[in-house]
Chains A and B, each alone.
Chain A
Amino acid sequence: MTRGPDIRLPIGAMFMMIGLLLALYGAIYERSVIGMAYFTTHLELCWGGAMLTFGGLMLVLGLHSRKTSSADPRN
């Protein structure tokens, strides 16, 4: 049975890209009224960082699974 691609890789990549974009945008361009009202730092920076972390985790899991799978002599 042919296994499909690991969805964690594109999910990880997409979240890292969007997370980085939001974090950079928040850090460089805008101090939002909303963000400053509720957070001690930028909303965009915080949430972008959260997405970046999640994306990184998915990428690590996906790559690890790929490595384990290719090392398995049954594949």
Chain B
Amino acid sequence: MQGEIGLPHSARLAVVDYAVMLIYFAFVLAVGYALKRYTKTSTDFFLSGRRIPVWITALAFISANLGAQEVIGMGASGAKYGIATCHFYWMAVPAMVFLGIFMMPFYYGSRARSVPEYLKLRFDEKTRALNAISFAIMTIFSSGVSMYAMGKLFKLLLGWNFDFSMFMAAGVVLCYTFVGGLSGAIYNEVLQFFLIVFGFAPLALLGLLNLGGWSGLKQKLAVVSVQNGFAPTAYTQAWAFMGHSSQNPIGVEWFGLSMGLGFVLAFGYWCTDFLVVQRAMAANSMSAARRTPLIAAVPKMFFPILVVLPGMIALVASPTAPSRFSQTHTVQDQQVLPGTVRGIIPVKVDAATGKPLLNSRGVAVLDYDLATPMMVLHYFPSGMLGLGMTALLASFMSGMAGNVTAFNTVWTYDVYQSYIYRSGSDAHYLWMGRAATVGGVVLSVVAAYVAASFNNIMDVLQLVFAFVNAPLFATFALGMFWRRATGHGAFVGLVSGTASAAIHHGLSLSKGSMVGIKGGFLGDFITYPSELAQTFWTAIVAFTTCLVVTTAISLVTRPRPAAELRGLVYSLTPRAGIREPEWYRRPEVLAVIVLVMVIALQSVFF
């Protein structure tokens, strides 16, 4: 069946596919409802009563992050950049280790109910307010963009009505988060995690079998690599070509990659984003809270097999290999110019003219975002197709639920209770949490329609997130490890860091990009070989600015007395005397194991 313009095929789901989806929806709602009787207080609703076992918090920790942008985006990056995309996962591991070993004792031990509340305890109200408000806005837009992407994708692939997809998914998420609170979100994230694993694992397996295994994939990617002007193994070796930005598809050298992605962005996200930290804070003990990101790091480092590898395969998979379309259809070429390697990825088409979009070299631009969805359509027969689409749906919904539960907590504790109504009862704040859940979902739907109305909204939001997130780790690191850091320093540092990110972006542009959202709006003074390189260096500038400004302002402003900072600063906090008797429960041992594993993994794919 001919799909929409730009897509050679769309699919029709069989009864068995819908049956798989319905089973999933039924269980997701049932889990939320079953948790209703355990959600009696505001602590139950916002922090799961701090009683969740560590294996659940660990899986929820990564599942909450496994939203639409992750699953679709990493597949797209895998197709565009090859194995270098895995750095987004492997470089997250040191940040997760740092969170578990050094930062969770403060988040959990300070009894802060949210990350912004930690900032209030450590610094002052204005720093908390800045973080809380920017975080609340970001989560709503992130949730909305997820919904928009989901609605658009399901319309394109299955012909579903855009509004129906959105309202259905939003309605289900609203039901289980309204009733079950954070526990509803966490328990369903674990269920969704396993569904995503079982939904995408056969995709990677079938793709590799189709191409002759890893060596076959390497051979085919070598052709693409040489065609794009790189060494044959540039798409399948993660570090060997990081000496210079011109040698690898990602367009970044080792310093920009390590510092920008591995340090600033990874630590900035994994150590300070309340969406993931909230899952660890729901654990049933300090030891469990510390072990949460450490245990989560193990599946995290292997997840590229499920999300990045399908994108790499999609780039070189044969459109005429056995697929659900091969018996009745032939793949149409879609006016692809000679020499364009595209595998099963469709070209981007100009909606106005219906013609393929071309880059500055006159080569058709591929719609990389469709890499993973096309893999699902290409390889999965009926039944498995329902499983694959349900796994995609699960990833969208877990991301949305994560954002909504983080939003309702930050809104209730850091905005409503702090500035609007301070002396309410616990029952009142529980009620407000539920109201905020409804409000959060409604606002997400609004944000989704805004995204649908403005072409570049997603690019704008990505940019804003990068500007706001990049300096955060500097603030937290100074707050936790330097008792001299003051509230004035933290606030001015955060504002300066964000401003410097915007300025750097305005003064730089990546090769082939137009002035505007992509940068250069203050003058094109710095040219980067790729958008990722520009993003990484923007993050480095923001972090450094925040660090320097926070330090400078702190040195000329009065710090708080040491007695007020006990439990909030490393040097003023007594070390916990309790040591786990079993070695595998000790965070330090787990940290070493996890770091050795990720180093070994990178050595294999060096």
A10 near B23 with CB under 8 A, answer no
Taking CB atoms, residues of chain B closer than 8 Å to A11 are 190-191, 194
Taking CB atoms, residues of chain B closer than 8 Å to A22 are 16, 20, 383-384, 387
A34 near B379 with CB under 8 A, answer yes
Asked if A7 is an interface residue, CB under 8 A from chain B, the answer is: yes
Bound complex: CA of A25 vs CA of B385, how far in Å?
Answer: 13
A37 near B27 with CB under 8 A, answer no
A34 near B322 with CB under 8 A, answer yes
B383 near A21 with CB under 8 A, answer yes
A15-B19 contact given A25-B382, A34-B322, CB 8 Å threshold: no
Asked if B210 is an interface residue, CB under 8 A from chain A, the answer is: yes
Residue of B nearest to A14 (CB): B27
Contact with B along A42-63 (1 / 0, CB 8 A): 0110011011001000000000
Q: Which residues of chain B in 140-157 are interfacial with respect to chain A, using CB atoms and an 8 Å cutoff? A: none
Bound complex: CA of A68 vs CA of B48, how far in Å?
Answer: 23
Interchain nearest-CB distance for B286 vs A (Å): 15
Asked if A67 is an interface residue, CB under 8 A from chain B, the answer is: no
Taking CB atoms, residues of chain B closer than 8 Å to A3 are 51
Looking at the complex, which one of A14, A30, A54 makes contact with B23 (CB distance below 8 Å)? Answer: A14
Bound complex: CA of A14 vs CA of B27, how far in Å?
Answer: 7
B381 near A2 with CB under 8 A, answer no
Interchain nearest-CB distance for B61 vs A (Å): 14
Bound complex: CA of A2 vs CA of B324, how far in Å?
Answer: 49
Taking CB atoms, residues of chain A closer than 8 Å to B23 are 14, 17-18, 21
Taking CB atoms, residues of chain A closer than 8 Å to B187 are 4-5, 7
Interchain nearest-CB distance for B8 vs A (Å): 17
Bound complex: CA of A58 vs CA of B348, how far in Å?
Answer: 43
A33 near B384 with CB under 8 A, answer no
Asked if B437 is an interface residue, CB under 8 A from chain A, the answer is: no
B381 near A43 with CB under 8 A, answer yes
Asked if B235 is an interface residue, CB under 8 A from chain A, the answer is: no
Taking CB atoms, residues of chain B closer than 8 Å to A44 are 381, 383-384
Bound complex: CA of A11 vs CA of B196, how far in Å?
Answer: 13
A26 near B198 with CB under 8 A, answer no
Binds A, one of B28-36, B361-369, B506-514, B585-593: B28-36
Taking CB atoms, residues of chain A closer than 8 Å to B190 are 7, 11
A30-B383 contact given A2-B49, A10-B27, A10-B31, CB 8 Å threshold: yes
Bound complex: CA of A18 vs CA of B327, how far in Å?
Answer: 27
A43-B27 contact given A4-B51, A21-B19, CB 8 Å threshold: no
Bound complex: CA of A30 vs CA of B183, how far in Å?
Answer: 40
What total of chain A residues lie within 8 Å of the partner, measured CB to CB?
A: 32
Taking CB atoms, residues of chain A closer than 8 Å to B326 are 33
Bound complex: CA of A64 vs CA of B538, how far in Å?
Answer: 52
Contact with A along B219-240 (1 / 0, CB 8 A): 0000000000000000000000
B381 near A34 with CB under 8 A, answer yes
> Majority SS of interface residues in chain B?
helix
Q: Which residues of chain B in 326-344 are interfacial with respect to chain A, using CB atoms and an 8 Å cutoff? A: 326-327
Looking at the complex, which one of A14, A18, A37, A51 makes contact with B322 (CB distance below 8 Å)? Answer: A37
Looking at the complex, which one of A1, A15, A30, A50 makes contact with B382 (CB distance below 8 Å)? Answer: A30
Asked if B323 is an interface residue, CB under 8 A from chain A, the answer is: yes
Most chain-B Cβ atoms within 10 A of its Cβ — which of A7, A25, A33?
A7
Taking CB atoms, residues of chain B closer than 8 Å to A47 are 198, 202, 384, 387
Looking at the complex, which one of B16, B35, B202, B284 makes contact with A21 (CB distance below 8 Å)? Answer: B16
Contact with B along A6-35 (1 / 0, CB 8 A): 010011011101100110011001101111
Bound complex: CA of A42 vs CA of B68, how far in Å?
Answer: 30
**B contact residues vs A (CB 8 Å cutoff):** 16, 19-20, 23-24, 27, 30-31, 34-35, 38, 48-49, 51-52, 56, 183, 187, 190-191, 194, 198, 202, 206, 209-210, 284, 321-324, 326-327, 379-384, 387
Smallest CB-CB A-B distances: 5 pairs: A32-B381, A37-B322, A14-B27, A38-B209, A25-B383
- Known A3-B51, A21-B20, A33-B326; 19 more pairs at CB < 8 Å: A4-B183, A4-B187, A7-B191, A15-B198, A18-B23, A21-B383, A22-B16, A22-B20, A22-B383, A25-B16, A29-B16, A32-B381, A33-B322, A33-B324, A33-B327, A34-B322, A34-B323, A34-B324, A44-B381
**A contact residues vs B (CB 8 Å cutoff):** 1-5, 7, 10-11, 13-15, 17-18, 21-22, 25-26, 29-30, 32-35, 37-38, 43-44, 47-48, 50-51, 54
Selected A-B contacts with CB under 8 Å, 13 pairs: A3-B51, A4-B38, A4-B183, A10-B191, A11-B190, A11-B194, A17-B23, A21-B20, A25-B382, A34-B324, A34-B381, A38-B206, A43-B384
